[in-house]
Each structure stands twice: as structure tokens, then as C-alpha cells.
Structure 1
Amino acid sequence: MNGNGGGPRVIDGRFELTQRLGGGGMGTVWRARDLALHRDVALKEVRPQAADEDPDAVRTLRARVLREARALARVDHPNVVTIHHIIDGGSDTYPWLVMELVTGGSLQDRLDRGRMTPVEAARLGRDLLAALVAAHAHGIEHRDVKPANVLLRPDGRPVLTDFGIAAVQESTRLTATGSVIGSPDYMAPERVRGLSGGPAADLWSLGMLLYVAVEGRHPLRRNSTLATLAAVLYDEVPKPRYAGPLADIVMSLLVHEPQARPDARTLDRELGRVAGELKDEPDEPDEPDEPDEPEVPVTAESVQDAIPTSFRIAPPGPAEPEPAALDPEWRLPAPTGPRTWQDWVDVMPRIISWVAIVAVVVAGAVIFYDAFSWSW
């Protein structure tokens, strides 16, 4: 795989190593030139020192790195490092990962220069949370969220990298019994106890990263790995002094019970408010739909009630009494058949009485009129 003679070292006949960017217990990261596509990339040489003479360890590590490549390929997110290619020389060799080159250094480099403000840390945390949510959606846990595994783009945006020890759900465990996978001082208590962890364990690590970002120190780091693990298990995390509005969010993540930590949606909302990217207003419950008003039948009474009092028409009073019935003596007998001479004889006195009365009334009217005319 390597290049020839004393010239530049070329990997796989294509990637020319130009600069060593960093290294650690799991290998070395190089800046390289892709001779085929004429672009700069990052090459991760996976070669842990402890596994050099152990063939089983080599095979185990190779399987882990291949899994990292496949895991990264499944996550398409701007805050997750992009993997371009994998170089695999066989079962007894160490693979190389070809990834995008992120040129802004690591978050650890940034924190070595000083603390972050709460607003800066909240924006950083929100981006890293988005990366974790994208990974969790594919069943991938990072398991080693720490400042050294966060790279920064030139504009300051973070990129989460080094999924080499991520645990893919329902996959075969590749770690040796009793080995520690991850950084002890960023490891969640449940993972220290040997439990699988789950997404909530990554949120603990994110909370610890934010704590260190604003405080400039690690609250549980001790003089040895064993002492640090004991502190993670049993010591309470002191409240940060410089976190300001971020303090409560950080403390809500650094609780020992995973189910007591906020979910990703709540955490994103709270980080967004501290970062000034969301309104700092309490959530308002959705207003229930107003029930439709029942239909009221239109009646005379409802119309009358809708009219202002001053314009209402008074209801009609009691009906006028009917005129009194005529005395039976003055009534004409009801006809029961053809009239006879005897019938007319019987009613004649009554007719004569009526005529007399009418004559008296007319005579009185004439006398009154003559007297009235004479006075004029």
C-alpha cells in the first residue's frame, strides 16, 4: 500500500500523505492529497500500539473500523464527518479511512485557549445534538463524545467524528471482556456499570462536554482512571459557576438516572433559547377548538328578545268583550221552516215597538237640529 523509496508516502497508490494532523491510542490522522480527484482529504491510520503483536486483536480492530465506515456512510448530516473511502488490505492488516478534511482544528484545541461563553456553548451543543440525533435515528451510538472528537470548520461549526467505537444496535460486540471503550471522564454512569447505555448515555457525554466548555475544567476528573470512574459513579456534579442560563440545562443532563435526563427535543429547545436562536417564551398549550354553538330555532319569543327594549312593540292587550247578547224577549225566533201568517202576527208587536222607537229618535233629532239652526 505504501509508496516507493524515499519519496512521499502514497497509500493505495492514490493518497499522498502530506502532514500529520494528530494521533492517539487508536492511530494517527494524516492530511493527504487525493491524486485522482485533486483534493485534500484526511486519512485515519488505525494502528493501536497495544494490538501490534496480537493477531486476534488485529482482526477485531479491523472489524470495528469497517463497522465505523459503514456506520458513517449511513449518516448524512452536516455535523457528522463524511467518509469517502476505505482501504482494506485483508484480514491481517489495519485499514485506513479516507474522510473529509476539516481544517479548523478540534474543539479541544479551542478550549485550550480559554472557556466558551454560555451562548457559544449552547450553539455548539445544539449542533452536536443534531449530529447525535441523526446517528441515533440509524441505531448508532457514538459512545465517546468528547472535545478531541469534535472538529471545527473554519466558520466554527462543529463536526462529530471518530465513530470507531460506536455501538451499532443489534450488532456483535467486538470489545474484549473487561476492556473500557471510551474516555472515562466523559462516560455515562450506566456505561461504567457495564450497561449498554443507549442514546441517553451520549446525552450525558454531551452535557459533560458543555460543562467543560464553559467552566474550563472537568468536575469529576481525578488522578487516576480508577478514581475518575469511581467519581462518575458516586460523586455529585457541582453546579457550574460560569454557565449562566446554560447551568440548569447542563445539570439536567448530568443526573445518574438515564430516564431523568431530558429528551432530545426538549434539550434542543432549551439550547436554542440560550443560544438566542429561539424565542425565550414558555410553551403555550394548543387552544382547544371552540365547540359549535347549537342552532336555536327562530320563534316569536326569540325575535322579540333580540329587539332592544325601546323598540319593542307592546303585546296586544286582552280581547274586547263581545257585546252582550240581546234579551230573549227582543230576539226574533229562529226560522224553522216556511213563514206563515200566524208567524207574522206573533212578531208584529215587536216590529211596531221597534218602529216606534226609531220614530222617536228621528223626531228628537229633527227638533234638536231646528233649535240649533234657530240659535244661529
Structure 2
Amino acid sequence: MDTTLTDPLVGKLLDGRYRVESRIARGGMATVYLALDVRLDRTVAVKVMHRSLAEDPAFVRRFIGEAKSVASLSHPNVVHVFDQGTDGDNVYLSMEYVPGRTLRDVLRERGRLPAREALEVMIPVLAALGSAHQTGLIHRDVKPENVLLTDDGRVKVVDFGLARAIEASNQTRTGVMIGTIGYMSPEQVTSGTADARSDVYSAGIMLFELLTGRQPYEGETPMSVAYRHVHDTVPAPSALLPDCPPLLDTLVAQATARDPATRPADATAMLVAAVDAHRMLPRESGPIHSGPIHSGPVQPFPATPAPTAPAASPAPNHTLIQPRTDLPDGPAADQAPPRASARKGFRPNWFLIALAVVMAAAVGVTGWLFSRTSTVVVPELLGKNIAIAESQARQAGFTVKIGEPEHDEKVTKGNVLRIDPVAGAEVEPGSQLVLIASAGPKRVNVPNVVGLSEADARTKLGEAGLVVDDVKKQASETVPRGQVMKTSPAVGNPVKEGSKVDLVMSAGLVMPDVMGMHRDQADGLLRGAGFDPRFVEQTDGAEPCTVIAQDPRPNAEVDKGAVINLTLSACSAEWHWPWENNGENATDDNVIIIPNVMFKDVKAARDELRAAGFKAEVRKGLNRGRVLAQRPPGGQAAPPGTKVTLWH
């Protein structure tokens, strides 16, 4: 089954920035993914630490500190670290993506490398390690898996400082070993300490493997291999490969000395010796074999018995987090096995040492030239004023093309938004850099959609890059029902692309409530509002000539000019107000005159009626805020407390 399909991170947006495309590799401490940095639109490699490490606060703190140190390394043979961060349970590094293969892949395919070619791989590796050592940074896990070979032949070292971050975690406080057993120095096994000379030891083991196709020690368990690193002497490559040049026997012997004090002081010192050896090798330094020289374990010398170790062991070349057994502090002098005869005659060549010191600068340049002879690093220009960035790029020897500005919400207008190739990329001198400036935040004006239907308004707003959010209705005497009356934000206002816009739609006219209104008042009110009232009478016991039914019903949405059908009580019927007796008003002692409040403000009219001793009921007619109809009419005599209905 394709593990990519089941990996929960694939397809996710990590930390809101890195879209994980696929899994590249999985190791002992982390999983590496191919991802797209959506902020800078570039492909990166994202290394996500395993959950057991990410749950340790001490590891996370040290990991962040080491990531900052590694990010400060600027060397063409070091994989550049762009960013580090956490997203929930995921602790990650964002790194330069280097398409190609690991040195381990090459060894699996070819078995071993000729002496000259092996040095041409080791020289850039040592140059990268030496650059780190000069800043006080130790790799701690040098091995073929951490050396990348690009498709165009470049060599890059990855995973600086990761093992150191693990050493600081809670997992290592009770005595464990960190590293890869096959390449681990004796002092890392016995005490867990490591310095630049420990990286030199691992580099010496890796050189041995490049020359012979095998690691010097094999065992049934990781602990048995670790035991041999402490007690055995690494055999000379010529013991397995008779035509291996003596110069490389010497280089391996110096780098893999069990006593750190007798090794080269750091990777730069080993680089000097490696460059000198490469210079003195013949052009054809040995036959090319397609596979390992030996199929069985490499044991040119009698093996020291190994202590019992746990049966379970990880893959031999994975970075190991392994409890340290009771190994001795270091090899005893009387227990050290005899060195190969090729080493017995070894004596320091003081002339070569003096020459190396004199030529250190020249040799360092030579080592760099072996690894990178024709590339320069694209400078970091993001965020700078476009004119200043162009000047700096030209001064650095690049040709510059200014591309079309692009809108961005965060980068100030006129500052560099993107560079192609990206900052940190290695390109040929004189290459063209394309600088894209920010055009500032993109704003669009709210288009005029007044008078459009809701569907047409949505389409027009969508074409402008805006989204309809809320739709409200409001009565209108001027805008036909179903058309846009206004927008919020208002038409013509500049807004951010993708903003939400509210629509206010016309509900047309709202049908007034004329129930109980006298025919003449209802007719005047409705015609004044633009309706066409039509009346029909029927016998009813209500007040003569008043509306007892209406269609459309009150508050319904109607268009201007609509026909309104009204049913009236019989206008010819005899009628008496309830307080009248045989058509005569009650005595003057118990009636008062109803005030005429027509066309007055509704609130003032209501207050006046109440002050006069009447009850006031207010109904919506055209909702104009002033009295448009009144029943009983003003001037009518009625007892105090009589209800008077007002329409506005």
C-alpha cells in the first residue's frame, strides 16, 4: 500500500504555510516531506520530528536553538535551513529542497567508488563540516544518508545539529547514545560526548565505506558494533582492497584513531590532508567494481568479544537513540589489537604538515573549487525597496529584470515581493534575477448594482471579486419590488478583494391595514399611495360603509398601482354608535367631544386623545408617521374611555 496515501500530513497545510505534497523519506528521528511554501511560492523539504521527540519540551527548546544556529550557516555544501516551527504536535524544519540521491543510494547502486572519486565526494563534505566546526557547530551524525548528491553533481550535507537537540531532551538524561552506530566515535559510545574530532572519526568511517563498499564493523546487535568501535582499530582499506593507495590508508587511519587527540583537530584539517592526497593520486586510482569486494562480514583482524546486548535493533544506518551499556571508559592499552602491518611504519611527515600550514588558505580554496567552481548564492532581497534591491543585485554581478508588480496584503507597495530564482539558490555567476515588486493591497470598488435583481447583483459583484453576505428587504415607494435599493458598503467604496457585501432589496409597497376604516378615508389613503381601490358592499352589522375585508391582506408586499379589493359593510344601513340611544346622543353630562387629530403626528395625536379621556389604538396604514384616518371622527360626542382608532 502507498504510505503516502495513509500519511495524515500529506495534503495538509502545515503551520498555515507549507502544503505537504508527498513523503520523501522516513528515518530514525524524523520524516521528510516534499512541500510547497505557499507564502513564497517555492518548493521546500519539510522535516517533521517523530512524535516521541516533539512531546519533550527540552528537545523542542534545544531543537529551536540548534535550528537557528544551522540557519546561520552559509556554505554551498550545506543544505540551507529556511525556517523552523511547531504546529500542534508537529515540530518541523523547512529546508532547501535538493532533488537527487543520497550517497547511500549511490553506494547501493555501485558498491564502492574509485579512490579519486571517493575523495571528490569527501572533499565537499569535509568543507561543509569544516565550515560548521569553525562556528562551533558539530554535526554528530555524519553518514551517507545525510549526504545528498544533486542531479548536476553538487554535494550537500544535511541534518546539522539535530542529534545535539536530541541529546538535550529528557530521553537522554539517563545515559543513552545518540547517532548511527556504524559511524559513531569511541567517545560517543563510552561517554556520550562529541566534538569536531567525533565528526572527523565518522567522516573517516564514511571514507572507508566509499573505498571498500563496506562498513569496517558488523555485528548481530548495535551494541556489538559499538563495542568494536571502542576496542578495535579500524582496518586499512587496503586490507580489503589491495590496490587501494597507501595515502588513503594513512588518511583513514588518522581520521579513525581511537584517541581523539591523535586525529585531525577538525574537518578543515582533514580537508587539507584529503586535498593533498587527491593531488598526489594518479589519474586512474583503481579499477571500478559494480559491487562490494566481499559478500561476508569485514573482519581482517580478530574481533574482540562483544558484550551481550538487547536482541532488538533498528535499521543499521538509522540514527539511534540507544541505552548505553557498561562499556569501559576507553580502550585499555594492553587490550588494543595489533594494527595492520601497513600502519606499523607510519610516522608523521613533518614536512607535509608544515607545507599544509603554509598552504592552508590555498588548499581551502582548492577544496571549495572541487565542490563548487561555478555557482553563486542568490542574495536575500525580499522586503527591500525595488530600486535598492536592483542596485544590490547588479553590484553582486547578476543581471536584473523587473517583472510586473503583484498585489499583496502584507508587503508594502514598491518593496520586493518575490525573487526568481529564490534567495539562497545557487546559480551561475551573471545569472538573471527577476524581481517582482508589491503593488500593495488589492482594492476593488463596489460596483453599482442598484436597480438590478438579486441574481444579477450577485453575478456582477462576483465578477468584481466580491461576495454577497446578507440580503435584507425594505419597503420602497420608488424602487420596484425585487430590485436592489442599496448596498453595504455603499456603491463606489474601495474594499479588499473577497470582501462581503450586504444587499438591501426593495419589498415594493407594503399593503396598508385599512380594516375598520370608512370608505372615503380608505379610498383617499390608497389612491394617494398609488393603489387602485375597488369596493363591494355586503350586508353586515358593522358600522355602515366601513372596510370589513381586504385583499391583499395587511402588510403583504404589493407593487405600486396594484388593484386592492375592499369589502364594505352596507353603506345604506341604519347605524347608531353604541353609546347613542335611539339615534340620540347620551346626555351632555356623560359625553365629551372627540378631538379631531387628522394629519397630526401620531404620538402627539395619541397623547391628545388620552388627555381628553379617550383610549387610542394606532394601526399602520402607509406608515407615514402622521394620522391619515380616524374613527370615530373628530367632533363626535362620546363617553369618556371610548376607543379611537388612528391610521398613519
Q: Which amino acid is the alignment partner of residue 29 of structure 1?
A: V
Higher Cα radius of gyration: 1
Q: For residues 302-317 of structure 1, what are the structure 2 equivalents within 5 Å?
A: none
2:173 corresponds to: 176
Within the alignment, does 1:30 sit opposite 2:33 as a pair?
yes
Residue 50 of structure 2: which of 24, 34, 47 is its match? 47
Residues of 1 paired with 2:280 and 2:208: CA distance? 20
* Counterpart in the other structure of 1:254: 256
The DSSP-based 3-state class of the residue aligned with 2:179 is coil
Q: Counting helix residues as a fraction of each chain, which structure ranks higher?
A: 1
Q: Which moved more, 1:274-283 or 1:174-183?
A: 274-283
Aligned to 1:110: 106
Q: Is the 8 A contact 1:9 1:17 kept in 2?
A: yes
Q: Identity across aligned pairs (percent)?
A: 33
Q: Is the 8 Å Cα contact of residues 118 and 214 (structure 1) preserved in structure 2? A: yes
Q: Tell me how far 1:283 sits from its aligned partner.
A: 4.6
Q: CA deviation at 1:22?
A: 0.2
Secondary structure of 2:25's counterpart equals: strand
1:51–1:69 CA distance, 2 compared to 1 (3 A): closer
Per-residue CA deviation, residues 63-87 of structure 1 (Å, 9 max, x unaligned), is 2321331121121111111111122
Q: Which residue of 1 aligns with 2:643?
A: none
The equivalent of 2:70 in structure 1 is 72
Alignment of 1:335-350 (within 5 A): none
3-state DSSP class of the match of 1:13?
Answer: coil
2:202 corresponds, among 190, 205, 210, to 205
Q: Structure 1: 5+ residue runs without aligned partners?
A: 287-376
Post-superposition CA distance 1:186-239 (Å, at most 9, x none): 111111110523211110000001111111111112110110111111112221
Q: Partners in 1 of 2:78 and 2:150 — Cα distance?
A: 12
1:127-180: CA deviation from partner (whole Å, max 9, x where unpaired): 111111111122111111011111122222221111243448xx9676332121
Comparing 171-180 with 113-122, which one deviates more in the overlay?
171-180
Say whether 1:227 aligns with 2:224.
yes
Cα RMSD (Å) = 3.0
Counterpart pick for 2:137 among 140, 162, 169: 140
Equivalent position of 2:59 in the other structure: 61
Deviation at 1:275, TM superposition (A): 2.7
Aligned counterparts of 1:47 and 1:265: Cα–Cα separation in 2: 33
Alignment of 1:154-169 (within 5 A): 154-167=151-164
Distance 2:179 2:99 in 1: 24
- The match for 1:274 among 260, 277, 291 is 277
Q: Which residue of 2 aligns with 1:214?
A: 211
Please report how far the alpha carbon of residue 271 of structure 1 lies from its aligned counterpart in structure 2 after TM superposition.
1.2
CA contact (8 A) 1:64 1:164 kept: no
What SS class does the counterpart of residue 21 from structure 2 fall into?
Answer: strand
* Structure 1 residue matching 2:153: 3-state secondary structure: coil
CA contact (8 A) 1:144 1:166 kept: yes
Query: 1:181 aligns to what SS in structure 2?
Result: strand
Q: Which residue of 1 aligns with 2:451?
A: none
With over 3 angstroms needed to count, the CA separation of the structure-2 counterparts of 1:181 and 1:268, relative to structure 1, is same
Structure 1 residue 285 displacement after superposition = 6.5
Q: Distance in 1 between matches of 2:102 and 2:9?
A: 31
- 1:119/1:275 contact within 8 Å kept: yes
| Aligned equivalents of 2:39, 2:187: Cα separation in 1 | 46
Report the Cα distance in structure 2 between the residues aligned to 1:284 and 1:99, rounded to whole angstroms. 38
TM-score by length of 1: 0.66
CA distance in 1, matches of 2:17, 2:149: 26
Task: Please name the residue that 2:189 is paired with.
Answer: 192
CA contact (8 A) 1:141 1:166 kept: no
Contact kept? 1:149, 1:161, Cα under 8 Å: yes
C-alpha distance in 1 between matches for 2:10 and 2:352: 63
Distance 1:6 1:104 in 2: 23
- Contact 2:182–2:217, Cα closer than 8 Å, also in 1: yes
Match of 1:142, SS state, is coil
**8 A contact 2:58–2:168 mirrored in 1:** no
Report the Cα distance in structure 1 between the residues aligned to 2:232 and 2:9, rounded to whole angstroms. 54
2:252 partner amino acid: V
CA distance in 2, matches of 1:12, 1:112: 36
Q: Could you tell me how far apart the structure 2 residues matched to 1:221 and 1:71 are?
A: 35
6 and 71 in structure 1: CA distance in 2 versus 1, 3 angstrom threshold: closer
Change (3 A) 1:277 1:96: farther
2:31 aligned counterpart, secondary structure: strand
SS in 1 for 2:46: strand
1:13 Cα deviation (Å)?
Answer: 2.4
Q: Which amino acid aligns with 1:111?
A: L
Cα distance in 1 for residues equivalent to 2:256 and 2:9: 52
- Structure with more strand by fraction: 2
| Partner Cα separation in structure 1 for residue 275 and residue 281 of structure 2 | 5
Q: Which moved more, 1:8-17 or 1:226-235?
A: 8-17
Counterparts of 1:39 and 1:83, CA distance in 2: 14
Q: Which residue of 2 aligns with 1:363?
A: none
The CA distance in 2 between the partners of 1:99 and 1:195, in whole Å, is 28
* C-alpha distance in 2 between matches for 1:7 and 1:180: 32
Q: How many residues align?
A: 273
Q: Aligned runs of 1:227-246 on 2, under 5 Å? A: 227-241=224-238, 242=241, 243-244=244-245, 245-246=247-248
Higher relative contact order (CA 8 A, sep 6+): 1
The one-character-per-residue Cα deviations of 1:15-62 (angstroms, maximum 9, x if unpaired) are 2222211011212101111222222110111114x458xx4xx32332
Classify the secondary structure of the residue corresponding to 1:88.
strand
Match of 2:94 in 1: 98
Tell me the TM-score normalized by structure 2: 0.39
Contact 2:46/2:95 (<8 A) preserved: yes
Q: Which of these residues, 117, 121, 127, is aligned with residue 124 of structure 2?
A: 127
C-alpha distance in 2 between matches for 1:111 and 1:261: 26
1:364 paired residue number: none
Deviations 1:220-269 (A, max 9, x none): 12110110111111112221133424222112111111111124454223
Does the aligned pair in 2 maintain the 1:123–1:271 contact within 8 Å? no
Query: CA 1:34 to 1:279, structure 2 compared with 1: closer, same or farther past 3 Å?
Result: same
